Amino acid sequence: MKDDGSKIPDIGEFFYFSPDLLSVFGKDGELIQVNPAWHDMLGWDFDELRSVPFANFVHPDDVQATEDEFRIVIRGPEETRRGFVNRQRCRDGTYRTISWSSLRKDGWICATGQDVTDHQEMRSQLSQSTAVAEAMFEAAADSIVIIDRDLNIVESSPESERMYGYPEMARRGHTGLNIIDPEDRPVVEAALRKTFEIDEVTTVSFRARHADGHEITLETRGRALRDPDGPPTRAVFITRDITAAAQTQAALAENLAKMRAIIDTAVDAITVIDRDATILEVSPASESMLGTPNENRRGRSVLQFVHYNDQAVVLASIRKIFDEGQASTARFRVLHDDGHWITVESRGRALDNNGDPPVAAVVITRDISESVALESALEIARSEAERHDAAKSEFMSRMSHELRTPLNSVIGFSQLLQMESSDPDVLRMLGHIHNSGQHLLNLINEILDISRIESGRVIVTLGAVSLDELVQDCVGIITLQASERGIGIEVGDITDVSVRADQQRLRQVLLNFLSNAIKYNRPKGRVIVSTEASEDIVRLSVADTGLGISPEMVERLFIPFDRLNAESTGIEGTGLGLALSKNLTEAMGGTLTFDSTPGKGSIFTIQLPVFKGS
């Protein structure tokens, strides 16, 4: 009992505040319980997780391995399994890599998942019940050892035997000092004994000898278990192998004192408050975060440290925790001891009071000042980029309009003059004027298309496009150009299927492929058009027998205005065709790929989905 007569909250409630994925499965694979970390880390609520098979939330490539692992746990002996890794799907479609520890006990499975995607250090929190707490203690990824005042092992987690390699490390009554490097042993022994004399966490690093003979470097953090009847008789130590900087999970204990020793090592600040927002208890991480000694915060209102404009948000969150019995997350500013404000994010939940109204809640707080500042900077940069894109698009639209109007007049009048003149020299010059004007008009249109694509304003109308008709149409258009250069065009068997695409844009892409295949071919060369279809995908390819593309030019292939030094060959072009074709293909939901062999030719391929109806 506390001094005020209130009952100590059920330690199982700490289950809800673990930053790792905690789950309880039935023997048929159904989810019985999960903690809020599933929502915080992956974005899923409990109702969503149990509404469909669990395999739906696993990466397709990992489903079979996950099912195999589950069968092993169900059918195998009741012992902890560690090191199984799979990828879990997040709500936003991304995946996180999770390392699992699991244990079957009394017909159910307790599984602990640690996010190892970014190798972030995490600490596990309390279980929902004594049975779950015990199972998670046995499945802990770090070594958890309880020693007495004689420095003998009273109890140790299964991970201890794996870490040190000595079977006797898992048995009670043995000391672990004999495996420590002789040079480090006096320092470690002094730290262990000091733990029983001070009321704070002790940290010490040392070298030890594994059973197979190799040396390992370890870091251990310990705290004595307070005994109200006298001096402490036991202490809990959590040891991590830092030889390879492995980030492993610390876990549980069998009573409140053991849990307190683990909580004191948490990276995030842990605060216990009452209904009036009065601070009852805080973890050491809170002092590091705010710079205020914990003894100066106990007994004071949380609001004394909260920015005035954010106090309403904090009060609303507290009311939700105590009056609605729900977990609540809030973001607000708190005052650091040196006078500056930091932005934090807190998640809290009321502690169970055996059916009576809750009298206390646990709040886990994290400093997110740097991420908030980064978000703000990114938002400013995004807005500025959008403003520049809009200005550029507006400029390109106005420029194209202003240029196309006089160009159309030039082209039109050149055609009229050609019709009225019979002088060969005049006709030749008028032809140059017409061709140059048409080339410039095409260039303006391509630049406008590129600008629209970059600004996200390109419009495609997707529907059924017959490949057979499209190929015949484009080949007919390009035949004269091919004949003038002595290039033969071969059309293979075109699959009798329709693709989902924009007919005008797909014609534009195919004509660009055919034009390039003719322009950059060798004399008397060939152009081959072919298709390949599967149930869902169609590939349309254009191959040539030209000089090909050298490997050093490949990275420049789709850069606008980069003609890969072709401007020195006298071949007409703008360097926009391939860049535009790639962007248009992707806008239609397809992909553009190419394969080229110097001296033999190139193959450009469009891959598009089969049209299966609207």
Distance separating alpha carbons of residues 261 and 252, to the nearest angstrom? 9
Can you tell me the mean pLDDT for 347-357? Answer: 81
Confidence band for 264, pLDDT divided at 50, 70 and 90: low
Beta strands across the sheet bearing 328-335 = 279-282, 269-274, 360-367, 341-350, 328-335
| Model confidence band, residue 114 (pLDDT cutoffs 50, 70, 90) | confident
Residue 256 lies in a domain: no
pLDDT for 59 = 92
Q: Are 593 and 468 contained in the same domain? A: yes
At 439 the pLDDT is 56
Q: What is the pLDDT of residue 400?
A: 58
Residues 278 and 298 in one domain: yes
- Give per-residue pLDDT as tens, 423-445: 787 777 776 676 666 556 666 66
> Higher-confidence residue: 594 or 122?
594
Say if strands 202-209 and 215-224 run parallel, antiparallel, or are unpaired.
antiparallel
Q: Quick check: is 260 in a domain?
A: no
Question: Is 264 within the bounds of a domain?
Answer: no
Tell me what pLDDT residue 172 has. 60
Q: Is the pLDDT of residue 147 over 80?
A: yes
Asked whether residue 312 falls in the same domain as residue 383, the answer is no
Beta partners for 597?
A: 601
My answer on whether 316 and 388 are in the same domain is no
Which range has the worst mean pLDDT, 263-267, 379-383, 552-556? 263-267
pLDDT top residue among 393 and 591: 591
Confidence grade of residue 7 (pLDDT, cut at 50, 70, 90): low
Torsion of CA 91, 95, 99, 102, to 10 degrees: 40
Least confident of 156-170, 387-401, 407-421, 452-466: 387-401
The C-alpha angle with vertex 560 and arms to 556 and 565, in degrees rounded to 5, equals: 55
Between 26 and 139, the higher pLDDT residue: 26
Mind listing the pLDDT tens digit for each residue in 271-310? 888 888 888 888 887 887 888 887 778 888 888 888 888 8
| Mean pLDDT value of segment 604-610 | 91
Boundary residue ending a domain (313, 337, 367): 367
Q: What is the DSSP string of 150-180?
A: TSBEEEE-HHHHHHH--GGGGSTT-BSGGGB
- Helices 369-420, 424-454: inter-axial angle, 10-degree rounding: 160
**Residue 354 and residue 442 in one domain:** no
In 3-state terms, what secondary structure has residue 1?
A: coil
Residue 261 included in any domain:
no
Helix (H, G, I), strand (E, B) or coil at 346: strand
Task: Check pLDDT > 50 for residue 125.
Answer: no
Given a cut of 90, is residue 60 above it in pLDDT? yes
Contact 85, 116 (CB under 8 A): yes
Q: What is the CATH number of the domain that holds 120?
A: 3.30.450.20
The answer to whether residue 428 sits within a structural domain is yes
Residue 167 scores a pLDDT above 80:
no
On whether the CB atoms of residues 526 and 545 are closer than 8 A, the answer is yes
Tell me which of 443 and 331 has the higher pLDDT. Answer: 331
Report pLDDT for 251. 32
Q: Report yes or no: 498 and 466 within 8 Å, Cβ to Cβ.
A: yes
**Residue 61: predicted pLDDT:** 94
How many structural domains does the chain have? 5
Average pLDDT score over the chain:
78
Give the range of the structural domain holding residue 378, as residue numbers without chain letter: 373-454
The answer to whether 272 and 361 are in contact (CB under 8 A) is yes
- Cα–Cα distance measured from residue 561 to residue 567, given in angstroms and rounded to the nearest whole number: 10
Cβ partners under 8 Å of residue 126, min gap 6: 11, 12, 13, 14, 15, 17, 18, 133, 252, 259
Instruction: Look at residue 253 in the predicted model and tell me its pLDDT.
Output: 30
Domain boundary among 216, 247, 278: 247
pLDDT for res 449: 62
pLDDT at 14 over 60: no
494, 593: one domain:
yes
Boundary of a domain, candidates 103, 137, 171: 137
pLDDT at 574 over 90: no
| CA gap 51, 40 in Å, rounded | 19
In a domain, 257, yes or no: no
Classify residue 263: in a domain, yes or no.
no
Span 501-516, pLDDT tens digits: 988 888 888 888 888 8
Burial of 331: CB neighbours in 10 Å, binned 0-12, 13-18, 19+: middle
pLDDT attached to residue 377:
78
Q: Is the Cα dihedral 482, 484, 488, 491 positive or negative? A: positive
332/384 same-domain check: no
Element (H, E) at 312: helix 311-323
Contact in structure between 169 and 156 (CB atoms under 8 Å): yes
The pLDDT value given to residue 254: 46
Check whether residue 289 and residue 393 sit in a common domain.
Answer: no
Calculate the CA 150 to chain-centre distance.
48
596 in the same domain as 477: yes
Strands 537-544 and 488-491: unpaired
pLDDT of residue 109 exceeding 80, the answer is: yes
- In terms of Cα–Cα distance, which of 245, 255, 258, 266 is closest to 20? 266
Average pLDDT over residues 483-511: 87
Confidence check: pLDDT of 234 > 90: no
Asked if residue 63 belongs to a domain, the reply is: yes
Map 479-543 to HEC letters. Answer: HHHHHHCCCEEEECCCCCCEEEECHHHHHHHHHHHHHHHHHCCCCCCEEEEEEEECCCEEEEEEE
| Residue 14 and residue 98 in one domain | yes
Lowest mean pLDDT among 138-147, 572-581, 584-593: 572-581
pTM to 2 decimal places: 0.35
Confidence (pLDDT) at 540: 92
Q: Which DSSP string corresponds to 415-442?
A: HHHHHH---HHHHHHHHHHHHHHHHHHH
| DSSP line for 27-68 | TTS-EEEE-THIIIII---HHHHHHS-GGGGB-GGGHHHHHH
- Same domain flag for 539 and 600: yes
Residues 223 and 303 grouped into a single domain: no
- pLDDT at residue 100 is higher than 80: yes
Window from 99-103, 348-352, 551-555 with minimum mean pLDDT: 551-555
Please state the rounded mean pLDDT for residues 585-606.
89
